[in-house]
Every structure is written in C-alpha cells, then in structure tokens.
Amino acid sequence: MFSSSYGSALTLCLVLVLSVFPLSAQQAGITAVPFMRVPPSPSANALAGAGTALPTDEPFGAYFNPAHVGLAAQKNVLSIYGLPTEADLNLRIPICSYALQIGYNLQEEMEGFPLSAGIGYHRQSVGPTRLTRTSPDGRVLDEVSLDESYDAFTLGLAADFGLQIALGMSLKFIRSDFLDFNANRPRNLEATATALAHDFGLLLRLPLVASVEDCFDTDLSIGDSLRPSFDVALGYAAQNFGGEVNYIVDDDPLPRTSRLGYALSAALDFSRNNIPLRLVQADWTVDAEELLVSRDSLGFEYLSPFSSINPIDNLLLGQRSADVGLRVGMRLEIAELLQLNSGELRRQEGSTEFTLDGCGWALRSKGLLKIADLLFTSDTLSFLHRHFDLRYYSAEYQDVRLIPPQSYRSLLLVVSDVLL
C-alpha cells in the first residue's frame, strides 16, 4: 500500500495544518483522501466547523448536512447561490472550493402541501502542488506531486408542518492523482484513484414562538413593529459512505464520518412600511463528530453510526474523547449587515485536552439596502434588498501550534424570489 499511504500522508499534512480533525492524528491517517474532511465553508469554519444543525442558505451547507439544501428553499421561490472560496494554508498548498444551489418552493404546485426542493453542487480541490525533501547538500531526495478533488451533487427536500423536516442526499465523485519521485528508486511511482461516495442528512427545526402563537391563538409581538423569534434545530449527517479507494495494489477506506448536532437561534425583527429588518440574531450550535473507520495491521473495517457518539454525554454534557470531537460555535448578526462568529473544536488526546479556536466576520449588502430603504423609501432599493444579497466572509483558525493562523476568504451572492 506504498502509494496510498504516501499520498494520504501528504494530504494529511494539509489537514493537520488546518487542525480540523476532531480525532487524533493517528486515527486521521488511517483513511485515504483525508482532504475531504477539510470544511470548505468560511462562515462555518469561523464556528470551528460546527454546521450540522444550524440552518443556512449558503451552498456549502450541503457539505455539513445535505438537508440544508431543501430547508433553504422554503423561504425562496427560486434562489441561486455562488461561492468561490480560497484559503491561505501557509504551506503553499492551494485549496479551492466552489458551490451553487437552486431552491424552489412547491407549495402552490402541490395544492397547498408545504413542500420545497433544492439541488446543489459543490467542488473542492487540493493542488496541484509539489513538495520536496532535500539533503543537507541540497540534493533532492523525495518529491511528491499531488492533485486531488471531488465533485458533489446534492438533492434536498423539506416540508413545513409547524415542525420543519428536511432530508438530503449528496453524491460525490472523487479523484486523486499523485507522482512520487525518490532518488533511491529506479523509477517513479505514479497513481490515479477514483471513488464514489454519498452523504445522507436529516434536519429538524421547530420555531417555538410561532408554535406557541398557533397553539394558544395569541400574538407575541412587541408593539406594532417588533417581533421575537426562537428556533430549536437538530441535525444528523452521515458523510463519505461508499466503498474503497484503490491505489495500484491495495484498497484504502474513505473517511466515513458521522455528525450529530443541535442549534438554538434567537432573534428580534423590526418592520415598518412593509420593510422587515432583523435587528439582531444570536445563534449557538454544537456538533459531535466521529470517524467511522477502524484499522490495524490486518486491515480496516467500517463502523456503524453512533459507534462512539452519545447524544447525552457529548451534546448535552459537553464531554469529548479521542473518538468523538466536539465543535461549539456562536454567531451574532446585527441588522442583517454585520456578522460576528467564534467557535472552538475540543478533543481529548490521552490526558491532554486539545482546543482549536475559530473566529470570523461577514458583511452583507441586504441590511445596508434595507436601512437605506427605511430612510429614503426607494423602489430601486426595495427591489435590490428583496432579491439580492452580496456577502463577504473572512474566517481564521487559530492553533497555539500554528503561527500565523490559517485564513479563509469568500464571496457569496444570493438571488431570491426571482423567477428565471
């Protein structure tokens, strides 16, 4: 398995620099294509990668939970999302991601049945890059060239019965190419591997304030212009399920992963002249994550979901272990204009607790346009904030072992309620 282990070790170098593994380095290295466990979303990375249960309309939500695609379509007749992402990894290993998502609310076509559907696509690539090891006299000993990527296609469905229920599935096409040159070998090692994997996701969201109003036939609005909301969400995702990755001789396992999380969201909305503005929103989300692969000298086996995750111990009590990592994220958004994010990844490595910090911010055009429309009342401004939202994201990972921190930047365009 010389080729697969060498190729995996190189991508593992990238992943360890990002410090996104909730598991120990030994466990992370037992799978092929570990770059697939590098979260591509800057906004979720600012939350330390916690994205299983916190509802999002950005297209990389499908990476964390394919069910996000269906749920995002409920608020939009037709939405298109595009998101190019670049990362600064300090090792000069290029990583690039793109995503697109389209959603449609089918309630009118379904004669009142509250169904929405969405499709999505995202791609993540590592490389092409070349790493070289030299001798003290400058002679090249080893040189590895790597180029890996996957393309994911997602289908999501959601229904709103008061309790919102969303399901999703992603199909991933994986490719890994590398060339390994060693001065002590008579010839180079070159290999190309392809594989097919799929993700499944479930997401439940309960708008508590709206549910209380419906149950007790009351209105919890504050005066004529203010309205509170409080939502609870629960999400589960099974990632990278499939066969094996074959490099020339041996098979290596996919990085099969299971994620379980919850999210709490509180907000206060303001409305005047039929212009709604969310004054403030605060989110809290927690993800527990486990790698479903076991390996020893005789081979490997895939584990079943919930082999290590315990919902009470991990999610409610906040316990973590070498097998289960815990991601905790907090987000504050002000006037649909400024977003502040922070999070941490916690895991246990023997007697030592490891913590990684995430942080970031975002700017949105929607809030700026709404505020301008409230002040100046313009049909043009009204059209723009109803249909377009341009966002800029910036996020960083900070590990005490890594200086400077790893950074992500991206631009997201959301087009909603427009029939194309």
Residue 222 per-residue DSSP state: B
Which of 158-161's residues contact partners 24+ apart within 8 Å by CB, and which partners? Answer: 158/67, 158/70, 158/71, 158/73, 158/74, 158/115, 158/116, 158/117, 158/203, 159/113, 159/114, 159/115, 159/116, 160/74, 160/114, 160/116, 161/114
CA 409 – CA 145 distance, rounded (Å):
26
> What is the model's pTM?
0.86
pLDDT at 295: 78
Which residues in the chain come in under a pLDDT of 50? 1-29, 82-83, 88-90, 420
Q: Tokens 């009590």 appear where?
A: 317
CA 231 – CA 222 distance, rounded (Å):
18
The amino acid sitting at 340 is L
pLDDT at 1: 41
pLDDT at 401: 53
CA 173 – CA 158 distance, rounded (Å):
25
Q: How far is CA 101 from CA 32, 71, 105, 119, 196, in A?
A: 28, 12, 14, 6, 21
Residue 286 per-residue DSSP state: E
In 3D space, the residue among 32, 7, 4, 37 whose CA is nearest the CA of residue 19 turns out to be 37
Dihedral over Cα of 42, 47, 48, 51: its sign: negative
Q: Tokens 């909305």 appear where?
A: 269
pLDDT at 249: 62
Q: What would the two tokens of residue 326 be? A: 């815990």
CA 208 – CA 19 distance, rounded (Å):
36
CA 51 – CA 208 distance, rounded (Å):
21
Q: Taking a C-beta distance cutoff of 8 angstroms, is the pair 15, 39 a contact?
A: no
**For 377-419, where are the alpha helices, taking DSSP H only?**
379-387
